[in-house]
């Protein structure tokens, strides 16, 4: 942990660790843990080259994909709207992302976001388009959680503020009770992690509160989608993290009992389970995400948001940070963190 409390340091830590998780997981995405071990000679322990990964093909070592780049654009829109994000602003951030990152769009756009962006560009109502169903995975994929960092970062200790902003951020794309639940769980975990007195236990409690509160709002306002309840999976993921004997045991149990695909329920549950097992350590948290298999980059990114807000930027390995920042010159996390910190401090 950092020696002195700094809102800016926590915000920059959250964005940076999320980005590093995305970059680290890009090399292992869509692989099983067994395939990861065979390819890299064991579990990955550092950034690896994603040169032959079909999803991150052409990326540099430590380069992000859609996850952290969407998180960044949503954070910039939060700044543009002075901390009071609107549904239209959230929708605009998605469209801006699609037009600003030709390397990631449409290549990396998920099963929800790819449809939503097309429809938003055609004039769809951002208040309603996220409620469209009729396709497997639409509205229940993990995109709602992977870009939600700023919702928690601008509300240190304010769980209800984090919930309301996370819902606004989620509404244009993932208008379901599951997505609201997952986005609010992570936003609340980050909001609590941003406080000086936070510990792993209080962050767990905040995540569970957010999951329950988000679901409650979703059941009233959103489309009721099929699928298991996120709160129950989150609680199970946390329990696995508490009970695991080592990292391999943790990721094996998470995959077997939770899953590691692109749905929001397993992604959020695995992310928090890994955070708990790592006792909040940012490096171990994202390594767990990169090794769990499946949607590794998204799971590591989501987990990294929470772990980075808890640890702060100054606690991070300098060699990892240097490599990450060199690989991602388009992501000015320091500038947006200063602006987000000004908003957060005005609310404390």
Taking Cα atoms as reference points, which of 63, 4, 22, 16 lies closest to residue 309?
16
Pull the structure tokens for residue 164: 């309301």
**CA atoms of 335 and 35, how far apart (whole Å):** 38
Taken in order 194, 199, 205, 211, the sign of the CA dihedral is: positive
The interaxial angle of helices 282-291 and 247-257, nearest 10 deg, is 50
**Binding-site residue positions:** 65-67, 295, 297-298
Question: Which residues make up each annotated binding site for Mg(2+)?
Answer: 65-67, 295, 297-298
Token pair 């992501």 in the structure block, residue: 331
Q: Which two three-digit tokens encode residue 130?
A: 């996220």
Residue 132 CB-density burial (10 A; 0-12 exposed, 13-18 middle, 19+ buried): middle
Report the DSSP beta bridge partners of residue 263: 141
CB atoms within 10 A of CB 319: 10
3-state secondary structure of 223: strand
Question: Is the Cβ–Cβ distance between 228 and 340 less than 8 Å?
Answer: no
CB atoms within 10 A of CB 3: 8
């Amino acid at each position: 942990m950092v020696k002195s409390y700094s809102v800016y340091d926590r915000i920059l830590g959250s964005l940076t660790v999320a980005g590093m998780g995305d970059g680290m997981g890009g090399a292992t995405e869509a692989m099983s843990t067994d395939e990861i071990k065979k390819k890299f000679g064991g579990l990955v322990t550092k950034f690896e080259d994603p040169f032959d990964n079909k999803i991150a093909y052409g990326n540099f070592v430590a380069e992000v994909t859609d996850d952290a780049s969407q998180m960044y654009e949503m954070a910039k829109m939060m700044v543009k709207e002075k901390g009071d994000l609107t549904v239209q602003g959230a929708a605009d951030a998605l469209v801006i992302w699609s037009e600003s990152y030709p390397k990631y769009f449409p290549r990396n756009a998920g099963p929800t976001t790819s449809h939503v962006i097309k429809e938003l560009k055609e004039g769809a109502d951002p208040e309603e388009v996220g409620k469209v169903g009729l396709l497997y995975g639409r509205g229940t994929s993990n995109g709602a959680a992977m870009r939600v960092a700023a919702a928690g970062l601008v509300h240190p200790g304010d769980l209800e503020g984090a919930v309301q902003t996370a819902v606004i951020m989620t509404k244009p794309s993932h208008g379901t009770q599951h997505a609201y639940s997952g986005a609010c769980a992570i936003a609340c975990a980050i909001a609590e992690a941003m406080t000086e007195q936070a510990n792993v236990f209080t962050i767990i409690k905040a995540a569970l509160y957010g999951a329950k509160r988000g679901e409650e709002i979703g059941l009233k306002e959103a489309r009721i989608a099929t699928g298991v309840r996120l709160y129950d999976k989150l609680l199970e993921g946390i329990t696995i993290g508490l009970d695991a004997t080592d990292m391999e045991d943790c990721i094996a149990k998470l995959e077997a009992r939770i899953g590691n695909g692109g749905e929001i329920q397993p992604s959020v549950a695995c992310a928090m389970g890994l955070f708990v097992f790592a006792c909040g350590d940012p490096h171990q948290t994202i390594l767990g995400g990169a090794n769990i298999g499946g949607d590794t980059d998204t799971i590591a990114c989501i987990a990294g948001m929470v772990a980075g807000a808890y640890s702060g930027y100054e606690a991070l390995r300098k060699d990892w940070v240097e490599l990450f920042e060199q690989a991602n010159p388009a992501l000015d996390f320091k500038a947006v963190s200063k602006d987000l910190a000004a908003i957060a401090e005005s609310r404390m």
